[in-house]
Amino acid sequence: MDWNGTIRPFISRLEPSLNFPSNYNYNQYPEGVEDMNNQGFEEAGNGLVPDLNMNSFMNNGKGKKKKKKRLTSDQLDSLERSFQEENKLDRDRKMKLSKELGLQPRQIAVWFQNRRARWKAKELEHSYNTLKHEYDVISIEKQKLQDEVMELKGMLVEQATRNQISTVFREISGGEIIESSSIRSWNKTSIAGNEYHPIVECDYIFNEDENNPVSTHYWDIQLPSYP
DNA sequence: AGGCTAACCTATTCACTCT
DNA sequence: AGAGTGAATAGGTTAGCCT
């Protein structure tokens, strides 16, 4: 783990002025819960450095568990402001915040990490909502277009039917012999009684079967299902 | 090139708070 | 008591520096 024992050589390289004790033990929390925000640091040379002799948060060395403490609203406000300016930390900013807020640099880093994670989750949620909204709008539009297509197809079929019927009437009135079985069928039911039944006609034309030459495939369209 | 290290990320844990 | 939240941890990855 980076923060818990591997930091010294790199910091030493970057900050030769910082003296790290040989009994290095970079633990998370200072001893004592009540004033933990003000402990765990010692002034060294030109700045604040972690108190490397701090005991562990979860175990103070005497087998006693420490409590977690929430950051104060002032600390959170400062961190939040800083995060809004720039959501990544450089070392100077971390140390500055650490000093200002009385928190360990590690705590600052962790807070920024968690804050970035929360921000990313929010971003993801926002993206999802935006995409979902766009999808819904497009779906509605698609449905409208489909309805329109259906309506137009219906009109086409209706027109085609009328054309066919008028042809039949023409043929009948011209005394021609009608061979089509479907027309014979239609002829029996409607023409013979000198009645015109458009509804029957529509049912007839939508019921495609081997006797019905007016296949829907003829129009290369899909017909709506009629009750 | 490979080792080392700080800093980052994601997933998870767990103490704490709220209902 | 259980759910939600957030501070902290674990483990992996990446990039920069050094040998």
Q: Could you tell me the distance in Å between the CA of residue A2 and the C1' of nucleotide C14? A: 13
Yes or no: say if A14 and A91 are a contact pair by the CB < 8 Å rule.
yes
Please report the pLDDT score of residue A139 as a whole number: 97
Question: What is the number of structural domains in chain A?
Answer: 1
Please report the pLDDT score of residue A69 as a whole number: 79
Please report the pLDDT score of residue A31 as a whole number: 31
Higher-pLDDT residue of A191 and A132 is A132
Q: Which residue is nearest to nucleotide B7 (CA to C1')?
A: A2
Non-local CB neighbours of A180 within 8 Å, separated by 6+ positions: A213
Yes or no: say if A205 and A199 are a contact pair by the CB < 8 Å rule.
no
Residue A16 inside a domain? The answer is yes
Residue A220 inside a domain? The answer is no
Residue A174 inside a domain? The answer is no
Yes or no: say if A50 and A106 are a contact pair by the CB < 8 Å rule.
yes
Q: Could you tell me the distance in Å between the CA of residue A10 and the C1' of nucleotide C18? A: 11
Residue A204 inside a domain? The answer is no
Q: Which residue is nearest to nucleotide B17 (CA to C1')?
A: A70
The answer to whether the beta carbon of residue A106 comes closer than 7 angstroms to any atom of strand C is yes
Residue A61 inside a domain? The answer is yes
CB-contacted nucleotides of strand C (7 Å) = 6-13, 17-18
Could you report the per-residue pLDDT of A156-173, keeping only the tens digit for each? 999 999 888 877 667 666
Q: Which of A10, A18, A76, A66 is nearest to A42 (CA)?
A: A18
Residue A128 inside a domain? The answer is no
Yes or no: say if A27 and A4 are a contact pair by the CB < 8 Å rule.
yes
- DSSP classification of residue A46: T
Three-state SS at A206: helix
Residue A224 inside a domain? The answer is no
Give φ, ψ of A51 to 5 degrees.
Answer: -75, 105
**Mean of the per-residue pLDDT values of chain A:** 61
CATH number at residue A11: 1.10.10.60
Residue A168 inside a domain? The answer is no
Domain range enclosing A66:
2-121
